[in-house]
Structure 1
Amino acid sequence: MVVIDPAAFARRQVRAQLTPLGCVVLELSGSEPEPVIRRQLQRARVVLAEPAPWGRDAGRWLAVLKAMNPGATLVVCTALTTRAAVVAYRQAGAADVVAKPWQPARLQAAVRRALAARGPAGGLDPRAGRGAATSPGGESPGRACLEAGPVQGETGGTEEPCGQA
């Protein structure tokens, strides 16, 4: 799972609140170079994003994120929840909008739904014509888990179970 929010404290809150669900959370500020964001999003099953810093371009920015990994479920976490903004988020591909400040149970429920919609980790990528696996190394998800076992987290944190990113 990838969390994109310019506020470090918000990213830490998301990480702390989703750890009980067994989620591996990679934090991005949104100011990283596009190739870095693209690489991390291509591995994600769920993307939580705060679009407010992009103002009127928030819908376009979310659509770009969604295009980087159409198979990932996009969840928006923002304080900007006017009707027009929510419609723009939905049109950009957001599956859910969680208002800030969020209740931990509401955030967890949104992520549970997003994970259920996405299916099991390492599932087949619908964009791949020959059913290529979406695991980070491109190998079959089963083989990757059997050979790799626990892997060191992307941010150098605790070990994460294979296939949870």
Structure 2
Amino acid sequence: MAHKILIVDDAAFMRMMIKDILSKNGYDVVGEAQDGAQAVEKYKELAPDLVTMDITMPEKDGITALKEIKAINPSAKVIMCSAMGQQAMVIDAIQAGAKDFIVKPFQADRVLEAINKTLS
């Protein structure tokens, strides 16, 4: 059975890019969210196997949403996505429980490597 993945990014274009990479490689994208508040709601509703989470978003940022998801499910698997030059935020995210991070712009092989490693 395909792993269920929730994609969280405030940019529809970025969500589409990740969704495209995942769908072509046999993953089941069960939902999308455009901010951290939506991400937490969708996580509760869909119980995905993995979440890809943008760090910088309006309403609620990815690190805050990550902490809330980890509070709901301590074994939640979340991979953070960030643009170049956000190293300090990436460290915060890893300390908050993120399993890995992917740098934008996305490279398909790196996205798949991070997801396969996190799910295995």
Q: TM-score, normalised by structure 1?
A: 0.60
Are 1:63 and 2:67 counterparts? yes
Are 1:78 and 2:50 counterparts? no
Distance change in 2, residues 1:82/1:34 (3 Å): closer
Number of positions where the alignment pairs a residue of Structure 1 with one of Structure 2? 114
Aligned to 2:7: 3
Are 1:29 and 2:34 counterparts? yes
Shift of 1:105: 0.5
Larger Rg: 1
Seq. identity, %: 28
Aligned partner letter, 1:113: K
Does structure 2 retain, via aligned residues, the 8 Å contact 1:59–1:91?
no
Are 1:45 and 2:32 counterparts? no
Distance change in 2, residues 1:99/1:36 (3 Å): closer
RMSD (CA atoms): 2.4
Q: Deviations over 1:61-88 (max 9, x none)?
A: 3211222332221100111543321210
SS at match of 1:16: helix
* Mapped partners of 2:34, 2:60: distance in 1: 19
Q: TM-score, normalised by structure 2?
A: 0.80
Aligned to 1:114: 118
Q: Which moved more, 1:21-30 or 1:95-104?
A: 21-30
SS at match of 2:57: helix
Q: Which has the higher contact order (CA 8 A, sep 6+)?
A: 2
Q: For structure 1, which runs of at least 5 residues remain unmatched after alignment?
A: 117-165
Aligned to 1:87: 91
Does structure 1 retain, via aligned residues, the 8 Å contact 2:55–2:89?
no
Does structure 2 retain, via aligned residues, the 8 Å contact 1:81–1:99?
no
Shift of 1:33: 8.4
* Mapped partners of 1:24, 1:15: distance in 2: 9
SS at match of 1:61: helix
Higher strand share: 2
